[in-house]
């Protein structure tokens, strides 16, 4: 966790533990496409995040492929990002459409109004799974420790207003039980790190550990 204070902040020592990072909801279609160029049916499909605006995407002969739909969604101004994933299944249709909310938080769910025509001929209508790939979650930090500790939640990975004139931003380092002390040396919360390594830390996976040490080339922030 990093913090930024204004000149009005009061000196003090605060024990803050990051329990969970904020996450954005993700939804995906069932595995029904054999390639990124698979033909999809035409019509309209709309996306909305929480109480935001509905954004309609029209599919016609110019963009009626899985890749064409992704490009159209991403240029539509909708509050979502579209991508294609390959789930590695061997049934011949491993490609799926993945939709990710651009806003984190438990209340920022994705709504889809799918008015594309039904499957027919060589064209397939994308059908979304009933359950999200990833539910949107709030960030959760704990101020203090013991019986009197105070849980604090935020829709984003930035907590404002908890400590007057101090903004705190959570990152992957703190979620793994690691932080920098006053001498810029790494401080280890062995209990938290043990929870992570044993798969018992809510909202944190071993993939986060891999990304921390750049094993997959991702950012460590």
Domain range for 16: 2-21+146-212
Which pLDDT value is given to residue 183? 47
Q: How confident is the model at residue 33 (pLDDT cuts 50, 70, 90)?
A: very high
Which pLDDT value is given to residue 106? 95
**Whether residue 64 sits in one domain with residue 52:** yes
**Whether residue 202 sits in one domain with residue 191:** yes
**Whether residue 49 sits in one domain with residue 88:** yes
| H/E run at residue 116 | strand 110-116
**Whether residue 155 sits in one domain with residue 109:** no
Q: Is residue 59 part of a domain?
A: yes
Q: Is residue 43 part of a domain?
A: yes
**Whether residue 104 sits in one domain with residue 81:** yes
**Whether residue 192 sits in one domain with residue 110:** no
- Please say if the pLDDT value at position 170 is more than 70: no
- Which residues pair with residue 96 across a beta bridge? 85
Which pLDDT value is given to residue 197? 62
Q: Is residue 14 part of a domain?
A: yes
Q: Is residue 163 part of a domain?
A: yes
Among 19, 23, 16, 22, CA closest to 2: 16
pLDDT in tens, 184-194: 444 555 665 56
Q: Is residue 124 part of a domain?
A: no
- Count structural domains, the chain: 2
Give the angle subtended at the CA of 190 by the CAs of 187 and 194, to the nearest 5°.
135
Which pLDDT value is given to residue 205? 57
Which pLDDT value is given to residue 146? 82
Q: Is residue 126 part of a domain?
A: no
**Whether residue 29 sits in one domain with residue 17:** no
Higher pLDDT among residues 52 and 19, named by residue: 52
For 216, phi then psi, to 5°, come to -110, 10
Q: How confident is the model at residue 143 (pLDDT cuts 50, 70, 90)?
A: confident
**Whether residue 47 sits in one domain with residue 10:** no
Q: What number is the average pLDDT over the span 65-81?
A: 97
Higher pLDDT among residues 133 and 140, named by residue: 133
Which pLDDT value is given to residue 145? 80
**Whether residue 80 sits in one domain with residue 34:** yes
Order of strands, sheet of 110-116, starting from the edge strand that comes earlier in the sequence: 55-59, 43-49, 110-116
Q: What number is the average pLDDT over the span 57-63?
A: 97
For 179, phi then psi, to 5°, come to -155, 170
Which pLDDT value is given to residue 144? 80
């Amino acid at each position: 966790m990093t913090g930024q204070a204004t000149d009005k902040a009061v000196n003090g020592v605060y024990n803050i533990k990051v329990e969970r990072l904020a996450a954005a909801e993700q939804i995906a279609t069932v595995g029904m496409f054999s390639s990124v160029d698979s033909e999809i049916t035409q019509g309209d499909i709309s996306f909305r995040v929480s109480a935001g605006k509905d954004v309609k995407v029209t599919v016609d002969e110019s963009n009626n492929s899985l890749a064409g739909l992704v490009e159209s969604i991403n240029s539509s101004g909708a509050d979502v990002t579209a991508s294609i994933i390959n789930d590695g299944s061997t049934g011949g249709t491993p490609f799926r459409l993945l939709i990710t909310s651009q806003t984190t938080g438990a209340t920022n769910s994705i709504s889809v109004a799918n008015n594309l025509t039904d499957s027919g001929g060589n064209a397939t209508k994308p059908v979304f799974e009933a359950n999200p790939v990833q539910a949107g979650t709030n960030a959760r930090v704990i101020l203090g420790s013991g019986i009197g500790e105070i849980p604090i939640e935020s829709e984003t990975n930035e907590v404002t207003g908890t400590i007057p004139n101090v903004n705190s931003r959570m990152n992957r380092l703190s979620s793994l039980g690691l932080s920098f002390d006053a001498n810029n040396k790494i401080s280890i919360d062995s209990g938290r790190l043990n929870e992570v390594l044993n798969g018992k830390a809510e909202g944190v996976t071993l993939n986060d550990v891999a990304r921390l040490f750049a094993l997959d080339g991702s950012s460590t922030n």
